[in-house]
């Protein structure tokens, strides 16, 4: 169940699940294999993390959905008593299939067949199988299987992806209803507590195909709608001065296509500036590996004026730099009461350079706390009626 509020703040919503509530906008760290690297579930709770994302395909490969069912579900195994979102596995399959040129890697109407390059095992993922695995995981928010494409792929390839994503979404929803013992009428009854189901809008960088995808998925009907593929401008253009990077116009356009009374999910977005813009455009929930992955490499997000490289709304601290060798200052002077052990920049530099677990933990907690506080600040913004 979702309750929207549009009075004292920008577009915000309360998502009610069987494992607690989520207040949007929200950033969800990626617990790819059932863990956010370098930090514990208690650390995440201390930071104020409201929900996690875990990866259906990797959980199935490493743990097995049947094992999770016998154990009592992912929440019990992970020791996480807050909401959990599972992706469909579609993006991971796309990455695996395109990572190596194996003729056994196929995407057909039935689903995705592929050989795992790491151990040579054969895998098959269909819309129904993805929903079954997510059901056994016991997640609070689930995603239907989609077919991602490269943003500058051919029109015919993108069109085929959009249409297959629609057909897979229908099959996914039917499997979801059957697994949860629901009818279509039950699905639309807000009094029935159940997991939320997310469809993914595809279409790469084509405005026309994004609309085609959104319209078809809305007709099927879902609780949440996601932006499929990273919203990046085409890598190549005949114009030397063509804009590059985050595709603001596209994510604004897609947000405006979606129902205002449904949650909009920005999959894989992104930097703090990306999230600020995406929220202003009407997106509600986000996830990305950026804050945790960058932390492990000594790339820290800090307040304006506190780092060595400046971006729109924040600075970056490259903590391994020689300039911090004798710096006894705080990691981020602009962060009040940071929820992690206090060390000097010089000492954190030493820990990260030595690849110390303690240093990785502090850096990861810092970046996640920065993102959490960004979400808190966005909730306090003044309303933009056109976007709510």
Same domain, 264 and 183: yes
- 345-353 vs 357-379: helix crossing angle, rounded to 10: 120
Same domain, 117 and 21: yes
* Domain hosting residue 336, numbered range: 295-372
Same domain, 327 and 250: no
Same domain, 276 and 357: no
Same domain, 181 and 90: yes
Same domain, 214 and 316: no
Same domain, 154 and 302: no
Same domain, 9 and 100: yes
pLDDT classification of 137: cutoffs 50, 70, 90? very high
The answer to whether residue 365 sits within a structural domain is yes
3-state SS of 145-201 is CCCCCCCCCCHHHHHHHHHHHHHHHHHHHHHHHHHCCCCHHHHCCCCCCCCEEEEEE
Tokens of 295: 């932390």
- 207-220 vs 155-179: helix crossing angle, rounded to 10: 20
Cis, peptide link before residue 25, omega less than 30° from 0: yes
From 140, 274, 287, 332, active-site residue: 287
Tens of pLDDT, residue by residue over 329-380, are 999 999 999 999 999 999 999 999 999 999 999 999 999 999 999 999 998 8
Same domain, 139 and 61: yes
From 30, 43, 87, 284, active-site residue: 87
The CATH number for 269's domain is: 3.20.20.105
Same domain, 302 and 284: no
Give the total number of structural domains in the chain: 2
- Residue 97 is predicted with a pLDDT of 67
Is the pLDDT score of 385 beyond 70?
A: no
The answer to whether residue 112 sits within a structural domain is yes
Among residues 136, 133, 153, the alpha carbon closest in space to that of 90 is found at: 133
Active site residue 287: yes
Task: Calculate mean pLDDT across residues 139-144.
Answer: 97
Active site residue 384: no
Tell if the pTM clears 0.75, that is, is over it. yes
Same domain, 86 and 164: yes
The region of weakest confidence among 121-135, 250-264, 272-286, 312-326 is: 121-135
The answer to whether residue 385 sits within a structural domain is no
Same domain, 219 and 332: no
End-to-end CA distance of the chain: 18
CA trace torsion 317, 321, 322, 325 (10° rounding):
50
The answer to whether residue 377 sits within a structural domain is no
């Amino acid at each position: 169940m979702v309750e929207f509020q549009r009075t004292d703040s920008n577009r915000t919503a309360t998502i009610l699940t069987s494992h607690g509530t989520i207040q949007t906008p929200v950033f969800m760290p990626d617990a790819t294999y059932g863990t956010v690297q370098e930090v514990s579930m208690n650390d995440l709770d201390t930071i104020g993390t409201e929900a996690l994302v875990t990866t259906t395909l990797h959980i199935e490969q490493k743990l097995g959905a049947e094992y999770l069912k016998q154990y009592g579900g992912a929440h019990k195994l992970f020791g996480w008593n807050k909401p959990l979102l599972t992706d469909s596995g579609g993006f991971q399959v796309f990455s695996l299939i395109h990572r190596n040129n194996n003729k056994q890697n196929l995407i057909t109407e039935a689903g995705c067949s592929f050989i795992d390059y790491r151990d040579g095992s054969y895998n098959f993922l269909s819309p129904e199988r993805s929903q079954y695995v997510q059901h056994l995981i016991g997640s609070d928010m689930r995603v239907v299987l989609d077919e991602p494409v490269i943003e500058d792929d051919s029109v015919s390839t993108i069109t085929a992806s959009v249409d297959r994503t629609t057909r897979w979404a229908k099959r996914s929803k039917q499997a979801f209803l059957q697994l949860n013992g629901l009818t279509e009428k039950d699905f639309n009854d807000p009094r029935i507590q159940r997991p939320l189901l997310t469809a993914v809008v595809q279409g790469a960088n084509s405005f026309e195909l994004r609309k085609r995808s959104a319209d078809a998925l809305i007709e099927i009907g879902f609780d949440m709608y996601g932006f499929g593929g990273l919203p990046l401008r085409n890598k190549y253009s005949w114009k030397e001065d063509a804009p590059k990077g985050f595709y603001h116009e596209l994510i604004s356009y897609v947000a405006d296509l979606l129902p205002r009374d449904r949650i909009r999910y920005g999959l894989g977005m992104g930097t703090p500036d990306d999230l600020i813009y995406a929220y202003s455009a009407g997106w509600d929930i986000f996830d990305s590996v950026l804050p945790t992955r960058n932390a492990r490499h000594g790339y820290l997000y800090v307040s304006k004026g506190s780092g060595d490289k400046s971006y729109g709304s924040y600075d970056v601290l490259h903590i391994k730099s020689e300039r911090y060798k004798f710096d006894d200052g705080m990691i981020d002077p602009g962060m009040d009461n940071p929820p992690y052990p206090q060390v000097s920049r010089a000492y954190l530099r030493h820990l990260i350079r030595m690849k110390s677990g303690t240093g990785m933990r502090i850096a990861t907690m810092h970046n996640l706390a920065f993102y959490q506080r960004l979400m808190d600040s966005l909730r306090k913004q003044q309303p933009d009626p056109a976007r709510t």
